[in-house]
């Protein structure tokens, strides 16, 4: 699906709500409907032979949930674990994944006209996973297609062949 | 079925498809039950109750099939029903040919139903032949049965007199009803259905009751089936209006059948226990009824009530299945419940740990509350776990039929004995254990039990016995397949093993020799039959059972028989685990695969070739796997190192795992890692420890395979 089509789809459905979070100096937004809950960070159980950004698995009320550190995934300068570090639990097509971010800012409603197509730039993020840029006054929001990002083969979250 | 169609009472345009699944399940159960009853049926002493039970099953399937428009099933079961009907009315004497044809018909119905269920549109196996054979038997054309002396005795004991119901005058009382007008619909039935009879309302002494005088040729059951379109069964009371002299017998039976062919899922016929005793349905409430049930001092009133229904049902199933009222629940709901309770247990453990430091004098109430919580959570966990448990009889019940066919094919005589059918096992395990057990039972029949002549020559009874038993032993269930056949031959196995170039010696212990038959492709059968003997089997059995964390043991005495014992954990969801520490991490080993553990000095390990390590344990060299390397465990404390060896066995090989420490044994709840993540090499799952942390469960099978190359 091309960028413009995606934008068209968004504008057709009108304004959407996004959960915004911080990674280092950047601010990101994801579709609020994909978010199940937000939790504090607790050290996960390491899983051998996993990429470095998969911190391991945690127990979420009896379910084993993998934890991805977005700061490591996006090559942020530092990835500290402090009292602000939070885990956003995502529910993506019946799979539950937790992502570690520096902090969660707020929930924003973005009208379609506030969305701009992202220019083609070189980035560690697969350009297909960036839905667009949202401008809110002086702030710029990078809107992620989190489902696409998480199911990409290089995330190593799903067994190959699935 | 009964429930659904009562709920749908009154509405003619309901969508039936939502009941399909329930119908398929019920029909399957009814066919299974019928098969069991047919197999248990003693032809010479068959009593009314057994025959009625079988009839009821066929009847229920037929009613349902007709309702849902499965004409082929309905036709076949209708024929079965007609034959059974004549049997239960003692117009025919049951014989083996009938049992055979009925069993075949049950199979045919099953496959027809399966086609409907899967929506298969390919041409079905023709049932015309079966239908004709049944009709033939029902017409009494079969070879005449042996002298019916014992039956005569039965008949004398329970005088099953008037066989066909004539025109009867009944008084039908309906109520209590919130809206008595509902009952008027019953009166309309009589107007709408030609030949049903006549009805007129009588005055009722109570406002919420309606009373009718009915003149009909139909049986009480047929009437009830009809009435339950409008009012529930419990609200109907039918009794003969006046005792009158028997009306000349008219063959109305077929006519009355016609009425409920189209009735939705004609439910199991329910009558009061007295009626069951007397021989069911057709003459309940008939003029002769008071005579026909003299041993019961109940007025001949067919009062259909919930309780009576249960009693009748229980009596019919001959207490074989101790099932009371049950509900069907999706297994995912139960699993969710188990998950939540597991979570509750962890939370409770955490609270208990945190409260330990509190001063009992100050926090007495809180601590008492926590103690109660502890007890209650444990009870709750136990009850919830028991939901998934189902009795072994579900598995066992399929074998009598299989053995009957198999023994017939092989020309052998076999008695089948089951013990401990009530032993409960996790549903997931039951499904997975069925195939290995089937294989073992087949083996016993094919290889174990000798031909009747050989048995007599060996001084054994002509009929062999295969025993299937289940029992709880500690935290596991032991299922045994025993036979009194020829047993395993030590010489033969050793000879075969040598021929195959296996490493064996004549000094091997019996247990080791028996273990050889688990080798892939191993068979001692002289002749390969289509039943078994191809050498695929025991290895698969062992592998399947090992996959369930179970073990197989063989015991045998040549000439006297053989015993195969399968030991399984009670549930798949819970496993006995041994927790081991490596660095700062905790891993769980399935206790069933742990052989022993010991401490070693580093010089006991010798290196071979490309860095593979071996350790000598007693007289055996075993490959060493360092968990620290396999799982890339980071080391923060360099003083510590792995010096504990745990010998694990899987797939028949042993390896030694090198760990830092043994932390203890515990029951762990097995969680799937792949539902949200992916398969991790050498890990079979995960569990949640007492502190809420996740620990990975090692896949010993994979570790053993890894060491092989």
ipTM: 0.81
Question: Given the DSSP bridges, would you call strands B414-419 and B464-473 parallel, antiparallel or unpaired?
Answer: parallel
| Ordered strands of the B168-174 beta sheet | B197-202, B210-216, B168-174, B236-240, B302-303
**What pLDDT was estimated at residue B57?**
81
**What pLDDT was estimated at residue B346?**
75
**What pLDDT was estimated at residue B622?**
85
Entry field: residues in chain B: 709
Query: In Å, how far is B626's CA from the nearest CA of chain A?
Result: 14
**What pLDDT was estimated at residue A57?**
93
Q: Tell me the angle at which helices B253-261 and B48-67 cross, rounded to the nearest 10 degrees.
A: 40
pLDDT at residue B83 tops 90 = no
Outline where DSSP puts E strands in B375-454: 389-391, 414-419, 424-426
**What pLDDT was estimated at residue B277?**
41
For residue A96, the chain B residue with the least C-alpha distance is: B676
Are B275 and B67 contacting, i.e. CB atoms less than 8 angstroms apart? no
Verify whether the Cβ–Cβ distance B676 to A66 is below 8 Å. Answer: yes
Q: CATH number of the domain at B391-569, out of 3.30.420.10, 3.30.565.10, 3.20.20.70, 3.20.20.80?
A: 3.30.565.10
pLDDT in tens, B34-56: 888 888 877 777 777 778 788 87
Are B38 and B54 contacting, i.e. CB atoms less than 8 angstroms apart? yes
pLDDT at residue B501 tops 60 = yes
Please give the radius of gyration of chain B, using alpha carbons only, rounded to the nearest integer. Answer: 32
Verify whether the Cβ–Cβ distance B676 to A44 is below 8 Å. Answer: no
Verify whether the Cβ–Cβ distance A66 to B695 is below 8 Å. Answer: no
**Confidence band for B8, pLDDT divided at 50, 70 and 90:** very low
**What pLDDT was estimated at residue B181?**
64
**What pLDDT was estimated at residue B696?**
92
Query: Which residue of B672, B682, B693 is in closest CB contact with A59?
Result: B693
Are A58 and A42 contacting, i.e. CB atoms less than 8 angstroms apart? yes
The CATH number of the structural domain formed by B574-708 is 2.30.30.40
Q: Which whole-number Å values give the CA distances from A141 to A18, A121, B8, B266, in the listed order?
A: 10, 16, 56, 65
**Confidence band for B498, pLDDT divided at 50, 70 and 90:** confident
Report the candidate in B199, B205, B204, B210 with the shortest Cα–Cα distance to residue B169.
B199
List residues of A whose CB lies inside 8 A of any B CB.
44-50, 56-59, 61-66, 95-97, 156-159, 162
The CATH number of the structural domain formed by A3-155 is 2.40.50.180
Residue A4 buriedness (CB in 10 A; 0-12 / 13-18 / 19+): exposed
| Cβ-proximal residues to B673 (8 Å cutoff; 6+ apart), any chain | A57, A64, B679, B680, B683, B685, B686, B696
Alpha helices in B527-669 (DSSP H): 538-547, 627-630
Which residue do the tokens 């090198």 mark?
Answer: B658
Query: In Å, how far is A14's CA from the nearest CA of chain B?
Result: 32
Q: What is the DSSP letter of B671?
A: B
Report the candidate in B60, B46, B168 with the shortest Cα–Cα distance to residue B98.
B46
For residue A61, the chain B residue with the least C-alpha distance is: B343
pLDDT at residue B289 tops 60 = no
Residue A105 buriedness (CB in 10 A; 0-12 / 13-18 / 19+): middle
Report the candidate in B560, B401, B583 with the shortest Cα–Cα distance to residue A46.
B583
Bigger pLDDT: B707 vs B255: B707
Element (H, E) at B614: strand B612-617
- Per the structure block, which two tokens stand in for A80? 């500290």
Q: How big is the A-B interface in CB pairs under 8 Å? A: 73
For residue B632, the chain A residue with the least C-alpha distance is: A48
pLDDT in tens, B148-199: 333 333 333 333 334 344 567 777 777 766 666 666 666 666 666 666 677 7
Outline where DSSP puts E strands in B223-309: 236-240, 302-303
Query: In Å, how far is B663's CA from the nearest CA of chain A?
Result: 17
Identical fold for domains B391-569 and B574-708, yes or no, is no
Q: What is the DSSP letter of B248?
A: P
Of these ranges, A141-150, B80-89, B489-498, B500-509, the one predicted with the greatest mean pLDDT is A141-150
Verify whether the Cβ–Cβ distance A159 to B631 is below 8 Å. Answer: no
| Cβ-proximal residues to B701 (8 Å cutoff; 6+ apart), any chain | B546, B650, B651, B684
Best mutation target among B332, B343, B677 (most A Cβ atoms within 10 Å) is: B677
CA B319, B324, B328, B329 torsion: positive or negative?
negative
Of these ranges, B63-72, B190-199, B322-331, the one predicted with the greatest mean pLDDT is B63-72
Contacts A50 to B, Cβ<8 Å: 680
Verify whether the Cβ–Cβ distance A95 to B673 is below 8 Å. Answer: no
pLDDT tens sequence for chain A (162 residues): 455 555 555 445 567 888 999 888 889 999 999 999 999 998 899 998 888 889 999 988 778 999 999 888 888 887 788 888 899 999 988 789 999 999 898 898 888 777 887 777 667 677 677 888 888 778 888 888 888 888 877 777 776 543
Bigger pLDDT: B4 vs B196: B196
Contacts A58 to B, Cβ<8 Å: 694
State the first-to-last Cα distance of chain A, in angstroms, to the nearest integer: 21
Query: In Å, how far is A161's CA from the nearest CA of chain B?
Result: 11
pLDDT in tens, B566-616: 988 776 667 778 889 988 889 999 888 888 888 877 677 777 776 778 888
Q: Could you write out the three-class secondary structure of B499-538?
A: HCCCCCCCCCCHHHHHHHHHCCCCCCCCCCCCCCCCCCCH
Q: Which whole-number Å values give the CA distances from B3 to B8, B267, B268, in the listed order?
A: 9, 9, 11
pLDDT at residue B547 tops 60 = yes
Are B405 and B414 contacting, i.e. CB atoms less than 8 angstroms apart? no
| Extents of the domains making up chain A | 3-155
Average pLDDT over chain B, rounded to whole?
Answer: 73
| Exposure of A42 in the CB half-sphere (CA atoms within 13 A) | 14
B176 prior amide bond cis, ω within 30: yes
Verify whether the Cβ–Cβ distance A47 to B672 is below 8 Å. Answer: no
Element (H, E) at B212: strand B210-216
**What pLDDT was estimated at residue B599?**
84
Q: CA angle at residue B552 from B460 to B653, to 5 degrees?
A: 135
**What pLDDT was estimated at residue A68?**
92
pLDDT at residue B131 tops 90 = no
Query: Which residue of A45, A50, A95 is in closest CB contact with B676?
Result: A95
Q: Distance between CA atoms of A72 and B24, rounded to whole angstroms? A: 53
> Where does residue B692 fall: left (phi above 0), alpha (psi -120 to 50 degrees), or beta otherwise?
left
Are B52 and B316 contacting, i.e. CB atoms less than 8 angstroms apart? yes
Q: What percent of chain B has pLDDT over 70?
A: 70
Are A48 and B631 contacting, i.e. CB atoms less than 8 angstroms apart? yes
Entry field: residues in chain A: 162
Q: What is the DSSP letter of B636?
A: S
pLDDT in tens, B56-65: 788 778 877 8
| Cβ-proximal residues to B136 (8 Å cutoff; 6+ apart), any chain | B142
| Cβ-proximal residues to A146 (8 Å cutoff; 6+ apart), any chain | A30, A31, A34, A90, A92, A99, A129
Q: What is the DSSP letter of B447?
A: I
Q: Which residues pair with B479 in a beta bridge?
A: B470, B566
Question: Residue B334: helix, strand or coil by DSSP?
Answer: helix
Q: CA angle at residue B349 from B688 to B578, to 5 degrees?
A: 45
Are A60 and A89 contacting, i.e. CB atoms less than 8 angstroms apart? yes
Contacts B671 to A, Cβ<8 Å: 62-64
pLDDT in tens, B220-264: 766 766 666 666 666 777 777 654 444 444 444 444 444 444 444
**Confidence band for B280, pLDDT divided at 50, 70 and 90:** very low
| Extents of the domains making up chain B | 2-157, 168-304, 331-387, 391-569, 574-708
Query: In Å, how far is B355's CA from the nearest CA of chain A?
Result: 21
- Per the structure block, which two tokens stand in for B291? 């005579």
List residues of B whose CB lies inside 8 A of any A CB.
339-340, 342-343, 346, 585, 630-634, 671-683, 686, 688, 692-696
Are A109 and A31 contacting, i.e. CB atoms less than 8 angstroms apart? no
Report the candidate in B181, B270, B255, B178 with the shortest Cα–Cα distance to residue B220.
B270
Number of C-beta neighbours around residue B436 at 10 A = 26
Contacts B632 to A, Cβ<8 Å: 48-49
**What pLDDT was estimated at residue B411?**
87
Best mutation target among A39, A42, A46, A156 (most B Cβ atoms within 10 Å) is: A46
Residue B426 buriedness (CB in 10 A; 0-12 / 13-18 / 19+): buried
Q: Distance between CA atoms of B698 and B625, rounded to whole angstroms? A: 12
> Where does residue B174 fall: left (phi above 0), alpha (psi -120 to 50 degrees), or beta otherwise?
beta
- Per the structure block, which two tokens stand in for B607? 């290196």
pLDDT in tens, B518-537: 877 676 555 444 444 444 47
Contacts B686 to A, Cβ<8 Å: 45, 57, 64
For residue B341, the chain A residue with the least C-alpha distance is: A62
Verify whether the Cβ–Cβ distance B343 to A61 is below 8 Å. Answer: yes
Q: Phi and psi of B97, rounded to 5°?
A: -60, -40
- Span B679-686, mean pLDDT? 86
Are A98 and A89 contacting, i.e. CB atoms less than 8 angstroms apart? yes
Query: In Å, how far is A92's CA from the nearest CA of chain B?
Result: 10
Superfamily of segment(s) B2-157:
HPT domain (1.20.120.160)
Contacts B691 to A, Cβ<8 Å: none
**Confidence band for B435, pLDDT divided at 50, 70 and 90:** confident
């Amino acid at each position: 699906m091309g960028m413009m089509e995606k934008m068209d789809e968004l504008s057709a459905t009108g304004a959407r709500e996004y959960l915004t979070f911080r990674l280092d100096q950047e601010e990101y937004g994801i579709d609020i409907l994909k978010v199940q809950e937000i939790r504090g960070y607790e050290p996960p159980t390491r899983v051998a032979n996993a990429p470095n950004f998969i911190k391991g698995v945690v127990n979420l009320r009896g379910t084993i949930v993998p934890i991805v550190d977005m700061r490591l995934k996006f090559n942020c300068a530092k990835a500290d674990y402090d009292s602000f570090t939070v885990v956003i639990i995502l529910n993506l097509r019946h799979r539950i994944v937790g992502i570690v971010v520096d902090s969660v800012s707020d929930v924003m409603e973005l009208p379609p006209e506030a969305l701009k197509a992202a220019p083609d730039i070189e980035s560690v993020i697969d350009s297909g996973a960036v839905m667009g840029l949202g401008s809110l006054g002086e702030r710029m929001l990078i809107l992620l297609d989190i489902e696409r990002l998480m199911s990409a083969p290089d995330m190593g979250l799903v067994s190959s062949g699935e | 079925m009964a429930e659904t169609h009562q709920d749908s009472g009154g509405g003619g345009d309901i969508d039936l498809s939502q009941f399909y699944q329930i119908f398929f399940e019920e029909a399957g159960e009814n066919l299974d039950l019928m098969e069991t009853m047919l197999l248990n049926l003693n032809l010479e002493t068959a009593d009314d109750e057994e025959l009625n039970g079988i009839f009821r099953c066929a009847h229920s399937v037929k009613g349902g099939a007709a309702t849902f428009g499965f004409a082929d099933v309905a036709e076949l079961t209708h024929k079965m029903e007609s034959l059974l009907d004549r049997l239960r009315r003692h117009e025919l004497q049951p014989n083996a040919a009938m049992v055979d044809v009925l069993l075949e018909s049950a199979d045919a119905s099953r496959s027809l139903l399966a086609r409907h269920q899967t929506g298969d549109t390919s041409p079905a196996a023709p049932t015309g032949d079966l239908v004709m054979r049944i009709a033939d038997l029902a017409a009494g054309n079969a070879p005449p049965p042996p002298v019916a002396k014992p039956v005569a005795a039965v008949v004398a004991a329970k005088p099953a007199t008037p066989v066909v119901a004539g025109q009867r005058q009944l008084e039908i009382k309906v109520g209590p009803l919130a809206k008595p007008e509902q009952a008027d619909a019953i009166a309309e039935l009589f107007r709408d259905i030609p030949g049903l009879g006549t009805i007129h309302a009588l005055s009722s002494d109570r406002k919420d009751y309606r009373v009718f005088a009915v003149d009909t040729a139909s049986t009480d059951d047929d009437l009830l089936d009809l009435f339950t379109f409008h009012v529930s069964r419990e609200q109907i009371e039918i009794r003969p209006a006046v005792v009158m002299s028997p009306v000349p017998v008219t063959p109305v039976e077929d006519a009355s059948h016609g009425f409920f062919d189209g009735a939705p899922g004609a439910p199991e016929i329910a009558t009061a226990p007295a009626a069951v005793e007397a021989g069911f349905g057709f003459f309940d409430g008939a003029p002769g009824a008071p005579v026909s049930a003299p041993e019961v001092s109940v007025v001949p009133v067919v009062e259909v009530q919930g309780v009576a229904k249960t009693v009748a049902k229980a009596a019919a199933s001959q207490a074989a299945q101790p099932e009371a009222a049950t509900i069907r629940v999706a297994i995912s709901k139960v699993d969710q419940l188990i998950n939540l309770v597991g979570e509750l247990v962890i939370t409770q453990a955490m609270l208990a740990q945190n409260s330990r430091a509190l001063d009992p004098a100050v926090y007495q109430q809180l601590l008492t509350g926590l103690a109660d919580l502890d007890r209650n959570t444990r009870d709750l966990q136990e009850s919830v776990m028991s939901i998934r448990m189902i009795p072994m009889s579900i598995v066992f019940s399929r074998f009598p039929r299989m053995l009957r066919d198999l023994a017939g094919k092989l020309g052998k005589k076999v008695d089948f004995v089951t013990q401990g059918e009530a032993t409960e096992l996790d549903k997931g395990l039951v499904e997975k254990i069925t195939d290995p057990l089937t294989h073992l039972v087949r083996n016993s029949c094919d290889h174990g039990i000798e031909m009747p002549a050989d048995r007599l020559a060996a001084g054994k009874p002509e009929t062999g016995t295969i025993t299937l038993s289940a029992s709880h032993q500690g935290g596991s269930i032991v299922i045994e397949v025993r036979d009194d056949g020829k047993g395993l031959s030590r010489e033969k196995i050793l000879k075969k093993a040598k021929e195959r170039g296996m490493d064996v010696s004549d000094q091997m212990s019996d247990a080791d020799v028996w273990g050889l038959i688990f080798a892939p492709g191993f068979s001692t059968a002289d002749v390969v039959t289509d039943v078994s003997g191809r050498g695929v089997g025991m290895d698969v059995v062992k592998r399947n059972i090992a996959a369930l964390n179970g073990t197989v043991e063989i015991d045998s005495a040549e000439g006297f028989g053989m015993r195969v014992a399968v030991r399984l954990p009670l549930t798949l969801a819970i496993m006995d685990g041994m927790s081991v520490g490596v660095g700062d991490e905790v891993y769980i080993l399935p206790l069933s695969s742990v052989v022993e553990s010991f401490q070693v000095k580093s010089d006991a390990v010798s290196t071979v070739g490309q860095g593979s390590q071996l350790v000598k344990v007693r007289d055996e060299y075993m490959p060493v796997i360092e968990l620290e390397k396999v799982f890339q465990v980071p080391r923060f404390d360099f003083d510590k190192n792995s010096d504990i060896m745990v010998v694990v066995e899987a797939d028949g090989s042993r390896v030694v795992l090198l760990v830092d420490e043994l932390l203890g044994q515990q029951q762990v709840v097995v969680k799937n890692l792949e539902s949200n993540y992916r398969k991790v090499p050498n890990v079979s799952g995960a569990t949640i420890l007492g502190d809420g942390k996740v620990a990975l469960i090692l896949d010993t099978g994979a570790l053993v395979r890894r060491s092989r190359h």
